[in-house]
């Protein structure tokens, strides 16, 4: 039997990257899937792929910076399928991180507020809207995509990193409040994930690979596999956790890559 048979899931940011891989995998495991994204065309394409593969999916527009839009997404899922079991808060304001999230000394408070509004407040509103429906079904699983950027410092993207750290904290508070209702809340912190077709990533892969303990870099499917586990009943005793999926990049001393190169 598929691991998510009979479950109803929302995946945000599902038109591309980690969200797309997750939506396809969740649907393949038997869940009726809401493919939610700001990109309507992409969301419809992914929902179509799921249908062709024999799954059941609905594309829904969502703007995580708009609380009414987030609530409408949850209601659309409940209207379409009669309830909700899984919420994957995956979408983030990556366009801001890529172009306008400047170092602390130059940071624009407006960009900071917008990043927090999408990455943290959007997740908060989604959890608030989803929880009553999960409670009505005896419980559920909330999985939020944090980031390795929320664990360590960098010379760029402080708003993004701070928002991801805040998302981990929010998740622990949600796990504490809703645990007795059967709702488990966890975060996944991906490391460097290679997104096929995403500009600029190929130029840094060799550098990033030096700092991994694994012989390859991460793929969207690596995150999707963990989402399925956390969404399934197999993870019934796991809640309030931040699980790092980074090929061991954050597990070793920072000078390891230099010593390894010297030994070769």
CATH number at residue 184: 3.40.50.720
**Residue 2 in domain:** no
pLDDT at 240 over 70: yes
- Of 111, 188, 107, 115, residue with least CA distance to 147: 188
Helix (H) or strand (E) holding 131: helix 122-136
Residue 38, domain extent: 8-263
**For range 185-210, the mean pLDDT:** 84
**For range 76-89, the mean pLDDT:** 98
* pTM for this entry: 0.95
The pLDDT assigned to 264 comes to 72
The pLDDT assigned to 206 comes to 87
**Residue 128 in domain:** yes
d(C-alpha 121, C-alpha 117), whole Å: 5
Confidence of residue 201 (pLDDT cuts 50, 70, 90): low
**Residue 202 in domain:** yes
Radius of gyration of the chain (CA): 18
**For range 136-153, the mean pLDDT:** 97
pLDDT at 94 over 90: no
**Residue 3 in domain:** no
pLDDT digits (tens, 9 = 90+) for 125-135: 999 999 999 99
pLDDT digits (tens, 9 = 90+) for 7-31: 999 999 999 999 999 999 999 999 9
The pLDDT assigned to 212 comes to 95
Q: How many separate domains does the chain show? A: 1
Count CB neighbours of 254 within 10 A.
9
**166 near 108, Cβ under 8 Å?**
no
Residue 55 makes CB contacts below 8 A (sequence gap 6+) with: 27, 28, 33
**Residue 60 in domain:** yes
Catalytic residue among 18, 60, 84, 160: 160
- Is residue 160 part of the annotated active site? The answer reads yes
**Residue 203 in domain:** yes
């Amino acid at each position: 039997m598929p691991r998510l048979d009979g479950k109803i899931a929302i995946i945000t940011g599902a038109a591309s990257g980690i969200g797309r891989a997750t939506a396809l995998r969740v649907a393949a495991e038997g869940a009726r899937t809401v493919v939610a994204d700001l990109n309507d065309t992409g969301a419809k394409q992914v929902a179509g792929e799921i249908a062709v593969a024999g799954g059941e999916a609905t594309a829904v527009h969502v703007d995580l910076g708009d609380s009414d839009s987030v609530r409408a997404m949850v209601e659309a899922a409940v209207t379409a399928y009669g309830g909700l079991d899984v919420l994957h808060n995956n979408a983030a304001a990556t366009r801001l991180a890529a172009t306008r999230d400047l170092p602390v000394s130059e940071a624009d408070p407006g960009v900071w507020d917008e990043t927090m509004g999408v990455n943290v407040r959007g997740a908060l509103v989604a959890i608030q809207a989803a929880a009553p429906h999960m409670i009505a079904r005896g419980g559920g699983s909330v999985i939020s995509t944090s980031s390795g950027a929320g664990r360590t410092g960098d010379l760029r993207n402080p708003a993004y990193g701070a928002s991801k750290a805040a998302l981990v904290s929010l998740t622990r508070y949600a796990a504490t409040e809703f645990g007795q209702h059967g709702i488990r809340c966890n975060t996944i912190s991906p490391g460097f994930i290679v997104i096929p077709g995403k500009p600029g990533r190929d130029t840094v892969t060799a550098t990033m690979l030096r700092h991994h303990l694994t012989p390859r870099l991460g793929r969207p499917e690596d995150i999707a596999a963990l989402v399925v586990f956390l969404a399934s009943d197999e993870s019934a005793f796991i809640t309030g956790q931040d699980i790092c999926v980074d090929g061991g990049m954050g597990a070793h001393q920072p000078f390891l890559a230099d010593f390894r190169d010297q030994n070769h």
